[in-house]
Structure 1
């Protein structure tokens, strides 16, 4: 309550003593606008509502309203004044007053106005809490999905729609020799290594419009073409693989300078039909992609070890990428070498593959990454 009349404090304290004893209301009193500002700045979170007179010394109520607006103070204000003429009412409302009660005070009307204002404050707080929760949800989604999918996932009840069959580009990537490497490291160091690897590679995946389907230890499964396919999906997967190798080059330079073990990586990329959709229970759903296209991408990633190349790309990817080739993609395709037909474990039919890339770092420095690390 901000009012320079001493009897107002006594009147309010007596009228609302039952509500104060019950813990519904807690009043703080100030005699002018400057004192009220000091109280707000000292403990602004505790004051929700201000009952504010207009005519006061030092700083009047209308000036205080303007200051509150400039400071973006969250407190709501009800004008309680004998100056109930229309110019004062309009000025107060324009400066952010929520309501206006005239003197002499009708205590019943004042209590109704207070409760209505507090109800409005509670609703606004609930809206703000929901907004904050939605922002947290979007932030969490952004850790796993590309930015173009985050809004869709947050707003739709069934973002990926029914289970269906569609063409997708699939990319598997992992660290070469990770099991042997982790045996020589402490658990905390292994976790740090994984986080650093995932962070660098996921950044490239999202930059190319891909979606991380899952992390499997040091391995990453990324999908291009969900929820809807485009003619860019195969090319984006190739650009992603190229960017991931550049990221590894840069990271290895940092690791070499720090005296740490250099890393190698194997990437397998495929393009073709797969079954896409949500699996799981009503309480715990998971997006997944299933099919021969996914299996072949996984086998190609494993085959990079014996083929002594950091990258194996199925011919279907190359043919689809050529159909929508731009300058960047043309340069990537030019660096691929025809690996001929390769037998893939668990599959009767051979797969024609393309392999290897001469790598540059993201800073343009010449560097080649093989399955064993830096060359």
Structure 2
């Protein structure tokens, strides 16, 4: 059996309660309607505050203490969800217009035509049900978007939420790609309980992901301790390369802060390697309708991964391609100018899996384990 619809009757005429109770006695006995009665607007406000189940009001205009039009204005200002049907002998056009402008659903004149009143009530209740369904769907969509945000970056959530089809068109465009991981993670994890490994990864991902999102990046995937981030996936602009480079600098600064905390608590400092590249890539969904992934693939992505691995050989936490430096230098901000000014040309470097070498840049002031001397 469905829950009763709660209706508040606000009218100071003593015979109204008897008329309503008599007319709708079958609906009340069947549990369809549940009526409560008050005599003025102030009593109505108290009833609404104490009973959140009230869906509909039958509201007179001329009442002592607080009239019906004043009550409507108060409810409108409070953005109350309850709907009101005016039931009044004052059915002149100015009163009708004022009531409707203040949010009344409809107007029934006295003496009350009970058939007309019931039809009007059911119309109002149908409207309330429609509005509740819209709100339910909106809330469900917000929950779904929030759940997506637990697993995808904001840029990717926006892309996924706007789609009606699971697979979007594949496109080719320039993107900045950043790979980062913890130095020596495999050896470190072998010495730790699995629960502590997961805690470490969560702490690492949380700090690094915050920097990626702060600079407009998208986390494409986590692979163990490694993070693949892209810049320019949702929308391409002239700042993608610069934002990737600034993000890398921010990630290293975040690692310094975390290492200070770790050392203070008796834990070892961690190192990180970051490789950044810029160039064309193919962007789209891969997989099946049952399980799919939004991904970025191509030589640009592979080279960024190889640069990240090369940080071990060159003993630097940050290794960026010449394409990133050139793209970032086209319109740099002050912060980016300082980052670019620190970079040193590392010359042409052989990269595993590529026939041609890659010109790279690094920061000579940075060592692999930390950017802060003394740690």
| Equivalent position to 2:31, from 10, 20, 23 | 23
SS of residue matched to 1:276: strand
How far is 1:290 from its partner? 1.4
Query: Matched residues in 1 for 2:212 and 2:106: separation?
Result: 53
- Work out the number of aligned pairs and report it: 365
> In structure 2, do the counterparts of structure 1 residues 105 and 186 end up closer, same or farther at CA, with 3 Å as the change threshold?
farther
How far is 1:293 from its partner? 1.8
How far is 1:153 from its partner? 4.0
What are the ranges of 5 or more consecutive residues in structure 1 without an aligned counterpart? 359-367
Question: Retained in 2: the 8 A contact 1:146–1:207?
Answer: no
Question: Retained in 2: the 8 A contact 1:263–1:373?
Answer: no
Worse-matched range after superposition: 5-14 or 213-222: 5-14
> In structure 2, do the counterparts of structure 1 residues 35 and 185 end up closer, same or farther at CA, with 3 Å as the change threshold?
farther
Worse-matched range after superposition: 132-141 or 69-78: 132-141
How far is 1:143 from its partner? 5.2
Equivalent residue for 1:371?
Answer: 369
Question: Retained in 2: the 8 A contact 1:252–1:263?
Answer: yes
Name the TM-score, length of structure 1 as normaliser.
0.87
Equivalent residue for 2:344?
Answer: 337
Question: Retained in 1: the 8 A contact 2:178–2:274?
Answer: yes
| Equivalent position to 1:4, from 12, 21, 42 | 12
Query: Matched residues in 2 for 1:314 and 1:64: separation?
Result: 68
Question: Retained in 1: the 8 A contact 2:253–2:371?
Answer: no
1:127 has 2:131 as partner: no
Query: Matched residues in 1 for 2:313 and 2:130: separation?
Result: 63
1:174 has 2:181 as partner: yes
Deviations 1:315-338 (Å, cap 9, x if unpaired)? 222233333444332321221222
SS of residue matched to 1:28: strand
Worse-matched range after superposition: 141-150 or 325-334: 141-150
Equivalent residue for 1:307?
Answer: 314
Worse-matched range after superposition: 137-146 or 191-200: 137-146
> In structure 2, do the counterparts of structure 1 residues 313 and 126 end up closer, same or farther at CA, with 3 Å as the change threshold?
same
| Equivalent position to 1:57, from 54, 57, 64 | 64
| 1:57-76 mapped onto 2 (5 Å cutoff) | 57-76=64-83
| 1:204-223 mapped onto 2 (5 Å cutoff) | 204-223=211-230
Question: Retained in 1: the 8 A contact 2:60–2:87?
Answer: yes
Question: Retained in 1: the 8 A contact 2:60–2:68?
Answer: yes
Name the TM-score, length of structure 2 as normaliser.
0.87
1:116 has 2:152 as partner: no
SS of residue matched to 1:92: helix
